[in-house]
């Protein structure tokens, strides 16, 4: 086959930033804060860290290894590395997950865009205190407006992807990531200086072990690890397929996992001290960011600027993650049908926007419809993060552990002959699949 020259990252830093940009997203701020709030804070954090170490990191190195060796998208990679074998099912599952996740991710990102503009115009500061809840419910219950914002967000995402790996994705992340880190650290410093902030820090760091008796906490931690690290559907696999041979993969994976976790912690330090300082329930759930925080901003001296900064930060985080989700689909379409980047981006960006419509209407017109006992968006999020991504991760782990030759895996991953590489393979063979299977069996029972 006569292939177009494959695009490459402009620099190693560019790749690192893009991979961190993929990982750091609504998962770290919106999702991490409500998941840890609902699941007891510190204990959830510990389980999450454990999941990052025994599942996240080994699987991330697996994705990096597969992607770079194959120099292809999530489906092409398996066709190339294991032709005619069933591993490619993992690729199809990944592609499916990209459609599902991005479809609802864009809906939430649309709300964020709306709030960003609401702080720009000052409109959100006019909402009477205590009415942010009904403000949010009314907005999300509308038919057209939320979809308009989600459309705008998908258009931006498509625009970045259409410019290509180096000039689009890499450039965007070089701007968005430093901006995000700066805003987040600033907000955490401010939040920590509020009276009563210490209770929020205690909530995040002082474990209440009784939470361990609740089975859903383990599942939530694993789901959060997969979602937050962008694992299990080939986003990082696709990004690493644009890497040359001289970048050391294990080190890159450690960096990505480290920064992703650090940013979730800083986000927690930006949110929980403020939540406790204002006497709000940390288990407020998925609406924490849209209802609780605006109420807090309103009561603060520089509330409008803070609200603006916060939603700008969320937008930056969401955009860089959405780009990585769309790239999975675009990379596939470009190879499979030989479409151009722009064509693939426009077509699938639009298809994904359409797929998000039910998730958006789930708060209004389709509120009666339930998925696993939740609204459509939350049901899809549950399905994706606690089932589809772990299954995808399981397939990637098993492929490296059992489907590939040991030596090839050790060489392709850059581990070489040392004990670290052996430990990695042992984890992918036994520990990671075992734990994933336990979690999955449990998730299926809970559905």
Q: Does 403 bind ligand TRP (CB under 6 A)?
A: no
The angle subtended at Cα 224 by Cα 218 and Cα 230, nearest 5°, is: 140
**Residue from 324, 386, 413, 432 in contact with ligand TRP (CB under 6 A):** 324
- Does residue 240 bind ligand TRP (CB under 6 A)? no
Q: How far is the CB of 192 from ligand TRP (least distance, A)?
A: 23
CA nearest to 106, candidates 372, 325, 274: 325
Say how many C-beta atoms besides its own lie within 10 A of residue 407's C-beta: 9
Report the distance separating Cα 139 and Cα 325, nearest Å: 26
Which of 389, 422, 410 has the alpha carbon at shortest distance from 74? 389
Q: Within its chain, how far is the Cα of 57 from the centroid? A: 15
The count of other CB atoms within 10 Å of the CB of residue 134 is: 12
CB 345 within 8 A of CB 333: no
334 binds ligand TRP (CB under 6 A): no
- Measured from the CB atom, the residue of 139 and 396 that comes closer to ligand TRP is 396
Backbone angles phi, psi at 163, to 5 degrees: -75, -10
Q: Is residue 72 within the footprint of ligand TRP (CB under 6 A)?
A: no
Question: Rule CB under 6 A: is residue 39 a binding residue for ligand TRP?
Answer: no
- Choose the binding region for ligand TRP from 52-60, 223-231, 358-366, 372-380 (rule: CB under 6 A): 223-231
38 contacts 283 by C-beta, under 8 angstroms? yes
Q: Does 253 bind ligand TRP (CB under 6 A)?
A: no
DSSP secondary structure letters along 428-443:
IIIIHHHHHHHHHHHH
What is the four-CA torsion angle of 403, 407, 410, 416, rounded to 10 degrees? Answer: 180
Nearer CB in complex with ligand TRP: 314/376:
314
Rg of the chain over CA atoms, in angstroms? 21
The interface with ligand TRP within residues 80-109 (CB under 6 A) comprises 101
Q: Are 397 and 428 in contact (CB under 8 A)?
A: yes
State which of residues 165, 233, 377, 439 lies at the interface with ligand TRP (CB under 6 A): 233
| Residue 31 vs 68, nearer CB to ligand TRP | 31
Contact 300, 127 (CB under 8 A): no
Asked if 57 touches ligand TRP (CB under 6 A), the answer is no
Nearer residue to ligand TRP within complex by CB, 20 or 292: 20
Our CB check for ligand TRP shows the closer of 259 and 363 to be 259
Measured from the CB atom, the residue of 389 and 394 that comes closer to ligand TRP is 389
Cβ closer to ligand TRP: 21 or 295?
21
With CB under 6 A, what is the number of residues at the site for ligand TRP? Answer: 16
Among 52, 112, 235, 331, binds ligand TRP (CB under 6 A): 235
Site residues for ligand TRP, window 370-389 (CB under 6 A)?
389
**Which residues are near ligand TRP by CB under 6 A?**
22-23, 25-28, 101, 227-228, 230, 233, 235, 321, 324-325, 389
């Amino acid at each position: 086959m006569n292939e177009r020259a494959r695009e490459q990252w402009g620099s190693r830093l560019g790749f690192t930033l893009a991979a961190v940009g993929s990982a750091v997203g609504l998962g770290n701020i919106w999702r991490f804060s409500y998941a840890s709030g609902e699941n007891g804070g510190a204990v959830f954090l510990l389980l999450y860290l454990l999941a990052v170490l025994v599942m996240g990191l080994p699987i991330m190195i697996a994705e990096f290894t597969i992607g770079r060796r194959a120099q292809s998208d999530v489906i092409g990679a398996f066709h190339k590395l294991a032709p005619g074998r069933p591993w490619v099912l993992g690729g199809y599952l990944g592609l499916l997950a990209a459609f599902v996740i991005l479809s609802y991710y864009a809906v939430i990102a649309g709300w964020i865009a709306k709030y960003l503009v609401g702080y720009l115009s000052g409109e959100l500061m006019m909402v009477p205190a205590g009415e942010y809840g009904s403000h949010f419910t009314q907005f999300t219950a509308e038919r057209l407006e939320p979809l308009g914002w989600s459309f705008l967000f998908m258009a931006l995402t498509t625009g970045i992807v259409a410019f290509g790996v180096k000039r689009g994705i890499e450039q965007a992340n070089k701007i968005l990531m430093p901006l995000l880190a700066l805003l987040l650290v600033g907000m955490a410093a401010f939040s920590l200086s509020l009276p009563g902030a210490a209770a929020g820090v205690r909530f995040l760091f002082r474990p209440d072990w009784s939470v361990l008796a609740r089975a859903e906490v383990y599942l939530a931690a694993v789901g959060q690890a997969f979602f937050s690290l962008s694992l299990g559907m080939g986003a990082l696999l696709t990004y690493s397929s644009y890497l040359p041979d001289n970048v050391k993969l294990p080190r890159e994976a450690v960096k990505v996992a480290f920064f992703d976790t650090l940013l979730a912690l800083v986000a927690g330090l930006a949110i929980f001290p403020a939540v406790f300082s204002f006497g709000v329930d940390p288990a407020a759930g998925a609406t924490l960011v849209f209802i609780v925080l605006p109420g807090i901003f309103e009561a603060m001296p520089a509330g409008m600027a803070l609200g603006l900064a916060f939603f700008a930060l969320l937008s930056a985080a969401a955009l860089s993650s959405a780009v990585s989700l769309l790239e999975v689909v675009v990379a596939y379409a470009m190879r499979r049908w030989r479409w151009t980047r722009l064509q693939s981006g426009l077509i699938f960006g639009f298809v994904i926007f359409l797929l998000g419509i039910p998730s958006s209407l789930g708060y209004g017109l389709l509120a009666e419809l339930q998925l696993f006992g939740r609204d459509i968006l939350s049901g899809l999020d549950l399905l994706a993060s606690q089932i589809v991504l772990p299954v995808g991760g399981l397939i990637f782990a098993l492929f490296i552990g059992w489907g590939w030759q040991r030596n090839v895996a050790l060489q392709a991953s850059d581990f070489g002959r040392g004990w670290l590489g052996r430990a990695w393979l042992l984890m992918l063979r036994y520990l990671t699949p075992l734990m994933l299977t336990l979690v999955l069996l449990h998730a299926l029972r809970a559905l």
